Amino acid sequence: MIVDKTLRVACLGAGYFSQFHFDAWERIEEVELVGIANRNIDKARQTGHPAFGDLEQMLEATSPELLDIITPPETHLAAIKAALDHGVKAIICQKPFCASLEEARIAVALAEKAGVPLIVHENFRFQPWYREMARSLAAGEIGDVHQLTFRLRTGDGQGPDAYLSRQPYFQKMERFLVHETAVHWIDTFRFLLGDIHAVYADLRKMNPVIAGEDAGYIIFDFDRGVRAIFDGNRHLDHASENTRTTLGEALLEGTTGTITLSGNGALHLRSFGQTETRTLLEPRDWRGFAGDCVFALQRHVIDGLMGSGPFENTAADYLRVIEVEEAIYRSANEGRKQGV
């Protein structure tokens, strides 16, 4: 636990998604953003914060209490080791977490040995619609849950220029739909429904210019016969002015009601046997990314460091998400259900 009123935060990475991290840190009054490191130092300078071209140099010069790692998976383990060597008190690391399950386990062991909280920046469970779903489930508003379905429809995967304007490295990822995208819902489904016991996956590649899969179906098994379905297709879209608000649509179905998530972030509850709905969450123009979930996660971590309660998405718990991901790829390769 950190009791200082101001926390010194440094960030590694100044790519596309880092803008949401920087904006969130700037809005947390207990945080002082002391440095940004990026191998292309010009990108770091463009943030307006102290810029460095090397992580070690930044850690030595700024002595941060928290390092926020916003770089690709192959850089994570080395960055975590460097941060621990420089005595940081907490680390947040973007997903996908580390380059492999083996590396992730090493990172967890090193952080635990040092007594340093290591949190995975898996922010979808912090989106306001999923927090409201969790509240509704806890209140018993839809009875006994039978099924949760999410239909991913980003609409950005067609043609030879797919992903190039925002995150061009997507085209080269040999594991794409699950490793980069569906992993969000592995974590979110666990948040809403509990641990996953088995998976069955049917994955395919629709766009020939990319290396990995970009469409498919995944069925998740939970306790008491509960199921979740991830139906993903990055070529198709859904009804939303901004398809990146929710990235798709969802149904959470129980014995006494159904909750519907629309593409604008609205949640509606329809009671069993009825046609009218009750609004649980109004659509709104959220700041930041996807319901301002980056801010919500970073705020949660700071509150935890200040002593408000346990962390969600510790790296130790997140190992389970990676294990489920591995089981999904085994299922797709072998054409059969896999236990987890």
CATH number, residue 49: 3.40.50.720
133 plus 277 within the same structural domain: yes
- 218 located within any domain: yes
- 33 located within any domain: yes
Which tens digits make up the pLDDT trace of 169-181?
899 999 999 999 9
269 plus 243 within the same structural domain: yes
pLDDT confidence of residue 165: 87
184 plus 256 within the same structural domain: yes
- Percent of the chain clearing pLDDT 70 (strictly above): 99
161 plus 104 within the same structural domain: no
Question: Is pLDDT larger for residue 4 or for residue 273?
Answer: 273
SS3 content of the chain, % helix, strand, coil (to 5): 35, 25, 40
What mean pLDDT is predicted for residues 305-334? 95
Six-digit token string for 12: 């590694």
- Number of domains observed in the structure of the chain: 2
Domain containing 252 equals 125-289+321-339
Q: For residue 185, which of 154, 223, 207 has the smallest C-alpha distance?
A: 154
- 305 located within any domain: no
Q: For residue 297, which of 123, 69, 181, 67 has the smallest C-alpha distance?
A: 123
335 plus 220 within the same structural domain: yes
- 302 located within any domain: no
208 plus 158 within the same structural domain: yes
pLDDT confidence of residue 6: 85
User: Where residue 2 falls among pLDDT bands split at 50, 70, 90?
Assistant: low
What mean pLDDT is predicted for residues 120-136? 98
| 3 pLDDT more than 80 | no
In what helix (H) or strand (E) does residue 120 lie, and over which residues does it extend? strand 118-121
177 plus 234 within the same structural domain: yes
- Residue carrying the six token digits 């649980």: 280
* Average pLDDT score, the chain: 95
Out of 121, 145, 173, a domain closes at: 121
- 256 located within any domain: yes
- pTM of the predicted model as reported, rounded to 2 decimal places: 0.93
- 245 located within any domain: yes
135 plus 273 within the same structural domain: yes
Question: Is pLDDT larger for residue 15 or for residue 308?
Answer: 15
Distances, alpha carbon 79 to alpha carbons 40, 58, 76, 100, 148, in Å: 16, 12, 5, 15, 36
Whether the CB-CB separation of 6 and 30 falls below 8 Å is answered with yes
164 plus 233 within the same structural domain: yes
Q: Hey, is 261 helix, strand or coil?
A: strand
Out of 97, 121, 145, a domain closes at: 121
pLDDT confidence of residue 164: 87
Six-digit token string for 98: 């580390």
Out of 121, 138, 158, a domain closes at: 121
143 plus 28 within the same structural domain: no
